[in-house]
Structure 1
């Protein structure tokens, strides 16, 4: 009987008066603890009630070596990244809702997403939460499987700052869609300059001569809610922001993700303050324009 009760209790996370730093130690998150101490944030974690999204040791190992070296040598940058993993108050799993945004100690909000059709996966800025509600005397810890990097701006800012999206940005500006892409809770599948070049000069000329078609094609790359890669699943259909609400089909092949079978997702989960960007290698064209634009 007592053994049975012990097994049941062991399925839950309890601490008995341990503070957040002690809980992190109990969970053997040695890399995080070392960096918290290096950034001089250990005392700050004891000065109030907080929720910590705690990356595992493996999560830090997955960072590019140059990123980890930079953070290790720049105390302010390291502190900013670590503060992005902490929010004031005790936020348990039961308080999370899809698209909920909570300001972090870094000043930038962390976005929750819940994907009911993908085993109720819960993410913060696209990073999967692998363990919830590890209670401390002054807050709660959730364990995550990647390190979150604070976004540098909104979707338009990020696209504008990257040389691979100059064609996309110019078309967005030509059609007056920049303001729309600054709205909240958006996902953009962003074609690179090379993706536009694959359309061919004739197709690009047709788009430039038809502002309505160009606008519709661009909006076909935008989904009016935030979808990180952890929420995508095979044969999913994402409704786009174009006027017809045309859908984008997601398909998986081995470890690759395709949209409409022909456009491969080459980079995922670029977090923006108002949503997410995924990079694709072909321009998506709604069926109603495909024959005229691509074949005709």
Structure 2
């Protein structure tokens, strides 16, 4: 028994002496991440001080958009910046997580933490933290199920920068709520131009010509609070900036897709500096006053 105890203590000592990078290598789930760290020449940096690493698994990298993956493979400066977006100086344990907290990562960009208490999910910039607090001699590792992408602008910037939202942008500007959509901690369910084309012409004209109806419709698409997909649940009612009405979440197709009222989310979890956008294929029409159509 004494021999076994000594062996166990030695093994524990070796594990505790592993750096964050050595722990990633030894774990086996992070081959892609480790290869990228080596390629970017960051091994020495990450071993030189205390860091918390938000570590995407190999599966997370496999799920990354092929265009983004190709860009990381071909541009070392971009790769380095992306890797440092997954690192924060010092030890940040799971106990420090709080909803809507914003962390300044090692590349100087901000990542948003969200805590969803109803299903015990914690996300950072929309990526679910699937395992917490793996110890290392010089820090902590949290495991991610997707690769984080740093946002490049706020909600209005994103809408303005994508032609498929030109109708939405025009109506937001007409209603004078662009500054509201720049406030922090918002979720927007954003209809595309194709979604607006599904609205009967007479109804859309009615909305555009009635300031109260326009405001009612637009604010019905906006939620106060950052609601990534991980925080949504079946038949959830979500209060909106339209104080007269709430949205309803429907999980469909064996919970693989999400509908908000009658709008299917076609692109989820578009992170911005002040919240998140989910693209929907229908305009969401409130059910209460002022009645539209």
Give the Å deviation of 1:207.
Answer: 1.3
Give the match for residue 101 of structure 1.
102
Give the Å deviation of 1:289.
Answer: 4.8
Taking structure 2 as the reference length, what is the TM-score of the superposition? 0.92
Give the match for residue 213 of structure 2.
213
Q: Distance in 2 between matches of 1:93 and 1:164?
A: 39
Give the match for residue 39 of structure 2.
38
Residues 80-95 of structure 1 aligned to structure 2 (within 5 Å): 80-95=81-96
Cα 1:240–1:30 shift into 2, 3 Å: same
Residues 131-170 of structure 1 aligned to structure 2 (within 5 Å): 131-170=131-170
Give the match for residue 11 of structure 1.
none
Give the match for residue 234 of structure 1.
234
Count of aligned residue pairs for this structure pair:
282
Residues 68-116 of structure 1: CA deviation (Å, up to 9, x unaligned): 1111110011111111101111111010011111101122111111111
Give the match for residue 192 of structure 1.
192
Q: Is 1:253 matched up with 2:259?
A: no
Q: Is 1:76 matched up with 2:81?
A: no
Q: Distance in 1 between matches of 2:275 and 2:15?
A: 35
Q: Gaps spanning 5+ residues in structure 2: where?
A: 6-13
Q: Distance in 1 between matches of 2:154 and 2:27?
A: 34
Residues 2-46 of structure 1: CA deviation (Å, up to 9, x unaligned): 9xx9xxxxxxxx941211111111222111010011112111112
Q: Distance in 2 between matches of 1:91 and 1:240?
A: 33
Q: Distance in 1 between matches of 2:111 and 2:34?
A: 21
Residues 115-170 of structure 1: CA deviation (Å, up to 9, x unaligned): 1112x111111111111000111110001011111111111111111111010011
Q: Is 1:67 matched up with 2:74?
A: no
Give the Å deviation of 1:293.
Answer: 2.4
Q: Distance in 2 between matches of 1:87 and 1:288?
A: 46
Q: Distance in 1 between matches of 2:15 and 2:141?
A: 11
On the 8 A contact 1:222/1:240 being kept in 2, the answer is yes
Structure 1 residue runs of 4 or more that deviate by more than 2 Å after TM superposition? none
On the 8 A contact 2:237/2:249 being kept in 1, the answer is yes
Residues 275-290 of structure 1 aligned to structure 2 (within 5 Å): 275-289=275-289
Give the Å deviation of 1:64.
Answer: 2.3
Q: Distance in 1 between matches of 2:288 and 2:66?
A: 46
What SS class does the counterpart of residue 172 from structure 2 fall into?
A: helix
On the 8 A contact 2:213/2:292 being kept in 1, the answer is no
On the 8 A contact 1:129/1:142 being kept in 2, the answer is yes
Give the Å deviation of 1:191.
Answer: 0.4
Give the Å deviation of 1:47.
Answer: 2.4
Give the match for residue 10 of structure 2.
none
Q: Distance in 1 between matches of 2:110 and 2:257?
A: 30
Taking structure 1 as the reference length, what is the TM-score of the superposition? 0.91
Q: Is 1:293 matched up with 2:292?
A: yes
